[in-house]
Amino acid sequence: MNRVIVRNLTLGAVTALLATAAHAQLTTFANFTQAGGTRPYTFTNAGSSSTFSLAAPQAINFYYQVNNEYNGTGFATVIPATMTLTSSVGAVATGVVSLTQPMTGITMVFTADTPVNGKSELLRIVANSGGNPGRLGGFLTGTDGGSNPSFSGSQNGALGDLVTMSSDFVHFDITTRRDYSLTFSAATPDFSMNGNSYINSFTADGTGTFASNPAPFALIPEPASLVFALLGGIALHRRRR
């Protein structure tokens, strides 16, 4: 009888935990700020061959907001790192006052300057159409004549893969949605559309935030580990009694 009770208790706890995670809202798990350089993020208008990229790896400060092997329990620990970014236009830009430039073939990689246990890839993001022309991987948006455009994308499990994330330190095996959002400042010249229907060339400074639902695996114990932990706690309670 006791075994049945313990088994039901542990499986019930696991089920409740996973159900809570499945219905949780997006959780910000990391962000970065620029650490040097002047307007390194560059959109180059070349018609249908236009690109948005970093010409060279950019120095950044990366911050995890989840516990993992790199930061231990130090939330928001500054991690000196470098970032690379490549992407290309997926379609012509649209809009009049608010402009949107669809992007595809997006790859962002964040690499720690100092590896931990031989590992250094803090986060890798790959976003593309996945064969769905309506979802191209990301969108560069901003107000016509403004200086603060943004670059964002979202993967929703119900709509098919669009944004994938991987890391040496957190895992996204059970995530059903993964979002990235980069915000730019000091865009020079101002954000605008060219007569060839693509955004005009510009350079800008940037920061970024990353979120998922549920939070990366580093925040959620494996179900098996949770079962063993619960069983250990129950056994200890019995010994004390």
Each residue's pLDDT expressed in tens, for the chain with a length of 241 residues:
444 333 333 334 433 444 444 445 899 999 999 999 999 999 999 999 999 999 999 999 999 998 898 987 677 789 999 999 999 999 999 999 999 999 999 999 999 999 999 999 999 999 986 555 556 789 999 999 999 999 999 887 666 568 999 999 999 999 989 999 999 999 999 999 999 999 999 999 999 999 999 989 875 444 444 333 334 444 434 444 4
* Domain assignment present for 1: no
- What integer pLDDT is reported at residue 241 of this predicted model? 46
pLDDT for res 162: 81
Binning the chain into helix, strand and coil, the percentages to the nearest 5 are: 20, 45, 35
Q: Is residue 118 assigned to a domain?
A: yes
Q: Is 6 inside a domain boundary? A: no
Is 3 part of any domain?
Answer: no
Nearest to 151 by CA among 193, 197, 204: 204
What 3-state class would DSSP assign to 184?
strand
Residue 2 in domain: no
Q: What is the 3-state secondary structure (H, E, C) of 123-164?
A: EEEEECCCCCCCCCCEEEEEECCCCCCEEEEEEEHHHECCEE
What's the number of domains the chain is made of? 1
What is each CA distance from 167 to 68, 125, 195, in whole angstroms? 11, 9, 40
Contact status, residue 191 vs residue 149, Cβ threshold 8 Å: yes
In a domain, 128, yes or no: yes
Structural domain that includes position 78 = 25-223
